[in-house]
Amino acid sequence: MDDDRLLRILAELEAEPAPRTRALCSVSARVIGTDGAGITLMMGEMPGPVCASDATSARVEELQYTLGEGPCIDSHRLGAPVFEPDLTAAWPSRWPTFGEQALAAGVCAVFAFPLRIGAVRIGAMTLYGSGTGSLGDERLADALAMADVVAHEILVTQSGTPGGVLAEQLASVGAYRAEIHQASGMVAIQLGVPVSDALVRLRAHAFRTDRPLREVAADVVARRLRLEP
């Protein structure tokens, strides 16, 4: 990584007044020059989004988590960057459900980068653009450097935390994930299915009713909603 690039990113992080985890998203968008950025972790018992730079990015990050489809999911699975500079042209052949929802939210370009610590994949950083077009060489270099910094920051935050458990600073940002986990357990018992299948049912209900997954989970936990077989 270029030293000047790294120093510039770290200086931006130190100057950011927001809490460190949230700062990772706002600084990512600002340093790389995109309209938005989000970070999703896929580690521990309750993976999911931990921060977003703005409301649109938060909406699209949650869409990927709810649908199990999108550049963030693919980047983490492949361990490689995943780019779509023109969703308007790529949809519906690529990410048919996510693409439709992202375009409706005003996102026309997405660029996802895996977050890795050695050979271990911990999630992905996704950049969002309201217009079409590629990042270009300089912004791509910034994005790769930023992804390394994000992974390092998460590693530092996680240090000393037992395996399979998110550090408090990360878990508190995405605290609703605990409710989703609880709701999945309740649905699993009600329907007599594995927890993984129960989560799929929750996601399907959220999609059909056009509601955030966290709201559906909250209704299940509060016993305002019961999914039928």
pLDDT computed for residue 165 by the predictor: 53
Average pLDDT in the chain: 85
How far apart are the C-alpha atoms of 48 and 41, rounded to whole Å? Answer: 6
Neighbour-count burial of 196, counting CB atoms closer than 10 A to its CB (0-12 exposed, 13-18 middle, 19+ buried)? exposed
Q: Where are the domains of the chain?
A: 3-162, 175-221
Position with higher pLDDT, 47 vs 117: 117
**pTM greater than 0.85:** no
Helices 55-67, 96-104: axis angle to 10 degrees equals 160
Report the SS3 class of residue 144. helix
Contact in structure between 147 and 114 (CB atoms under 8 Å): yes
How far apart are the C-alpha atoms of 43 and 66, rounded to whole Å? Answer: 16
- Identity of the amino acid at 50: V
H/E stretch holding 227: none
- CATH-assigned architecture of domain 175-221: Orthogonal Bundle (1.10)
Mean pLDDT (whole number) for 80-94: 94
- Weakest mean pLDDT among 38-47, 140-149, 192-201, 203-212: 38-47
Q: Model confidence over 172-222: pLDDT tens digits? A: 444 456 677 788 888 888 888 888 788 888 878 887 787 877 788 888 888
Contact in structure between 70 and 63 (CB atoms under 8 Å): yes
How far apart are the C-alpha atoms of 69 and 71, rounded to whole Å? Answer: 7
pLDDT computed for residue 27 by the predictor: 93
H/E stretch holding 180: helix 176-191
28: which 2 tokens? 């990512």
Q: Of 74, 50, 70, which is closest to residue 60 (Cα–Cα)?
A: 70
For residue 224, is pLDDT > 70? Answer: yes
Record: fold of 3-162: Beta-Lactamase (3.30.450)
